[in-house]
Chains A and B, each alone.
With several copies, the nearest count.
Chain A
C-alpha cells in the first residue's frame, strides 16, 4: 500500500536503529513517552524496542481513548441501552470495555440491549434515519481526530431536525493530558514520577489540531516534542530526532509527520468542532483522575442532540481497582510486570485497570506482544 509499506521497511529500520544507537550518548539515559496508543501499538507490534539501545526507554502514555474512558461513562452507555431501550451505536473498540459489575456493552447486548457496532458516525446517523420509531444514541468517544466526524453528524441531525438522534459525548483533548503528565513528572510535583525527557507527539490528532498546539507547554516545561506518524519508521525517525534534540539541549516542537500534519492543522475541522462543542470544566480520565478543561461537551444550541440531557444521565464515578498500578506505570515509575495482578487477575479478557483495556494500553500491549520477555528475563536470571 502506497505511503504505508514504505514506512515499514525492515532494513531501513535496522539501519535507523544503528543510527539511534550511535547517536545516543552512552553516559546518559533517554526517557521518552509516546503519548499515543497508536505509537504504543506500533512499538509493540513491530518489536521496535528490540532495535533500541538499552539506555533509551519508551514510556507508554495514556493516549488511547478506550483506555481512558471511565467505568462510569460505560455504565451510562449501558444504562441508555438497557434502561432507556435506545439503539446504542458504538465503535467496535467500545464493545468489550469493562463496566461495573462485570458488564460491558457486549454483555449488555447478550442481555437484550440493542447495541450496534458502527465504523463511522455517519452509520449512527443512518441508523436513526432507518429507525424513525426508535431513539438512537451514538456513543461518541475519541480524541481530536474522532471529534470532527461527530460534529458533522450533529450538525446534519440538526439540519434534518431529527427527533430520535442524540450523541453521548465522551470526546477528550490531548494537550491538557500531556500537560498534566509533564506537570506530574516535573521536579517538585505532588506525585512521585520519573522525569520524562521528551515526548513523541500524536499523529492524527495533530493532523487536526496542528503542531502549534504543543508549542505552549514545550515552552513552559522545556521538553522536546516530535510529532510522528504511526508507522514504525515514523516512530524510529522521531526517536532519532528527539535524541538529537536532547543531545543538543534543544526543546522544540518538531514535526516528523509532515506528510499529514501542518502547523495550523485542519482549520475546517477545527471550525466545525468549535461550532458544536465547548470545553467541559473537568472530566474524569480512567487511570489519571479528573483533569480540568480536558474534554468537550455539546453546546447549548445543540442540546436537543445531547444524550446526557435528553435522558438525564447522572455520572456516577467508579473507583479503579486498588491493586492497579496504572498511575505509576503512566508516570514511568513502574512497568506492567511490577503490578501484582498483571497476567493473573488482570488480563485482556478480564482487565482490572485501564492500561489493560485496549491493546494500546501499556499493560495490554505488554501482555499481548511482549510478556515472553518477562519469562526470558527470569530464565536467564
Chain B
C-alpha cells in the first residue's frame, strides 16, 4: 500500500535532512528525493523519505470538488 502521509516540514537540518510535524509528532526525514523544499511545505513521507511534494492548491481544489459532488451539484457530477 506504500504507506505515505502528508507531513509539514518545520525545520531544515541541512545535509538533505529535515524535521517534519504531523499531528504533534515530529521526526526526521530525508529530502534526498525532492528539490526546493521550504519550511511550511507539505511533503509525502514514505519510509523516512519525502517522495514528492504535496500541492496545497490541488488539495483544496479536490476538497472543493468533493464538497460540491457531495452536495450533488450537477457541474461537479458531470463526467
Chain A residues close to B by CB (< 8 Å): 1-4, 6-7, 11-12, 15-16, 18-19, 22-23, 36-41, 63-65, 91, 119-123, 142-143, 145-146, 148-149, 152, 202-205, 207-208, 230, 233-234, 237, 240-241, 243-245, 247-248, 250, 256, 258-261, 265-266, 268-269, 272, 360
Q: Which 9 A-B pairs have the closest CB atoms?
A: A244-B79, A38-B1, A120-B48, A15-B70, A145-B2, A259-B59, A204-B2, A258-B58, A259-B58
- What is the bound-complex CA distance between A258 and B5, given in angstroms? 15
- Please indicate the chain A residues that have their CB under 8 angstroms from the CB of B72 in the complex: 15, 18-19, 22
> Known: A237-B69, A247-B79. Is A269-B33 also a contact (CB below 8 A)?
yes
Contact bitstring B22-53, A, C-beta under 8 A = 1, else 0: 11000000101111000000101011110111
- What is the bound-complex CA distance between A272 and B66, given in angstroms? 36
Task: Among A3, A143, A233, A244, find the residue whose CB has the most chain B CB atoms closer than 10 A.
Answer: A3
- Please indicate the chain B residues that have their CB under 8 angstroms from the CB of A265 in the complex: 52
| Total count of chain B residues near the partner, CB < 8 A | 41
- What is the bound-complex CA distance between A291 and B54, given in angstroms? 33
- A interface secondary structure, majority: helix
- What is the bound-complex CA distance between A34 and B67, given in angstroms? 23
Q: Which of A3, A7, A37, A121 contacts B1 (CB 8 A)?
A: A37
A148:B70 contact, CB within 8 angstroms: no
- What is the bound-complex CA distance between A207 and B5, given in angstroms? 12
A260:B5 contact, CB within 8 angstroms: no
CB-nearest residue of chain A relative to B60?
A: A259
B75 at the interface (CB under 8 A from A): no
- Please indicate the chain B residues that have their CB under 8 angstroms from the CB of A146 in the complex: 2, 46-47
- Please indicate the chain A residues that have their CB under 8 angstroms from the CB of B61 in the complex: 258
B65 at the interface (CB under 8 A from A): yes
